[in-house]
Protein backbone atom coordinates (compact mmCIF):
# COMPACT_ATOMS: atom_id res chain seq x y z
CA UNK A 1 0.00 0.00 0.00
CA UNK A 2 1.15 3.56 -0.59
CA UNK A 3 2.40 5.57 2.37
CA UNK A 4 -0.48 6.74 4.56
CA UNK A 5 -2.77 3.92 3.42
CA UNK A 6 -3.83 0.93 5.54
CA UNK A 7 -3.72 -2.66 4.29
CA UNK A 8 -6.63 -4.94 5.09
CA UNK A 9 -6.80 -8.31 3.38
CA UNK A 10 -5.95 -7.81 -0.28
CA UNK A 11 -7.00 -4.15 -0.30
CA UNK A 12 -5.54 -0.81 0.71
CA UNK A 13 -7.67 1.79 2.48
CA UNK A 14 -7.20 5.52 2.83
CA UNK A 15 -9.53 7.67 4.85
CA UNK A 16 -9.76 11.40 4.41
CA UNK A 17 -11.20 13.28 7.36
CA UNK A 18 -10.16 16.84 6.58
CA UNK A 19 -12.58 17.46 3.71
CA UNK A 20 -16.33 17.37 3.62
CA UNK A 21 -17.28 16.41 0.08
CA UNK A 22 -20.59 15.58 -1.56
CA UNK A 23 -20.78 11.99 -2.85
CA UNK A 24 -19.92 12.88 -6.47
CA UNK A 25 -16.91 14.97 -5.45
CA UNK A 26 -15.74 12.26 -3.06
CA UNK A 27 -15.98 9.73 -5.89
CA UNK A 28 -13.89 12.01 -8.13
CA UNK A 29 -11.34 12.61 -5.37
CA UNK A 30 -10.95 8.87 -4.78
CA UNK A 31 -10.50 8.29 -8.52
CA UNK A 32 -7.82 11.00 -8.64
CA UNK A 33 -5.97 9.06 -5.91
CA UNK A 34 -6.23 5.80 -7.85
CA UNK A 35 -9.05 4.35 -5.78
CA UNK A 36 -12.78 4.39 -5.21
CA UNK A 37 -15.16 4.86 -2.30
CA UNK A 38 -15.21 1.84 -0.02
CA UNK A 39 -17.83 -0.77 -0.80
CA UNK A 40 -18.45 -2.91 2.25
CA UNK A 41 -18.83 -6.51 1.13
CA UNK A 42 -18.50 -8.53 4.34
CA UNK A 43 -18.58 -8.34 8.14
CA UNK A 44 -14.80 -8.02 8.51
CA UNK A 45 -14.72 -5.03 6.18
CA UNK A 46 -17.65 -3.49 8.03
CA UNK A 47 -15.79 -3.88 11.33
CA UNK A 48 -12.72 -2.17 9.85
CA UNK A 49 -14.67 0.81 8.54
CA UNK A 50 -16.70 1.01 11.75
CA UNK A 51 -13.55 1.07 13.90
CA UNK A 52 -12.01 3.87 11.81
CA UNK A 53 -15.19 5.96 12.01
CA UNK A 54 -15.57 5.28 15.75
CA UNK A 55 -11.95 6.32 16.31
CA UNK A 56 -12.46 9.57 14.41
CA UNK A 57 -15.63 10.35 16.38
CA UNK A 58 -13.84 9.66 19.68
CA UNK A 59 -11.02 12.01 18.65
CA UNK A 60 -13.52 14.70 17.66
CA UNK A 61 -15.38 14.39 20.97
CA UNK A 62 -12.10 14.54 22.91
CA UNK A 63 -10.99 17.70 21.09
CA UNK A 64 -14.40 19.31 21.62
CA UNK A 65 -14.26 18.43 25.31
CA UNK A 66 -10.79 19.94 25.67
CA UNK A 67 -11.91 23.14 23.97
CA UNK A 68 -14.88 23.43 26.33
CA UNK A 69 -12.62 23.00 29.37
CA UNK A 70 -10.07 25.57 28.19
CA UNK A 71 -12.55 27.99 26.61
CA UNK A 72 -10.97 27.75 23.15
CA UNK A 73 -13.22 28.00 20.13
CA UNK A 74 -12.76 27.54 16.40
Distance CA(28)–CA(37), nearest Å, equals 9
pLDDT at 57: 60
Q: 21 in a domain, yes or no?
A: yes
| Per-residue pLDDT at 5 exceeds 80 | yes
Q: Determine, yes or no, domain membership for 1.
A: no
Band of residue 8 on the pLDDT scale cut at 50, 70, 90:
confident
* Contact between 3 and 13 (Cβ < 8 Å): no
pTM over 0.75: no
> Interior CA angle at 51 toward 50 and 55, to 5°?
115
Q: Domain count of the chain?
A: 1
Give the range of the structural domain holding residue 16, as residue numbers without chain letter.
6-70
Q: How high is the pLDDT of residue 31?
A: 92
pLDDT (tens digit per residue) in 17-71: 777 888 899 899 889 988 888 888 888 888 888 888 776 665 555 555 555 555 5
Amino acid sequence: CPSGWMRFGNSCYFYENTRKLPWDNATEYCASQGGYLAEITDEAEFQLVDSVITGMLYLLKTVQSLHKKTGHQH
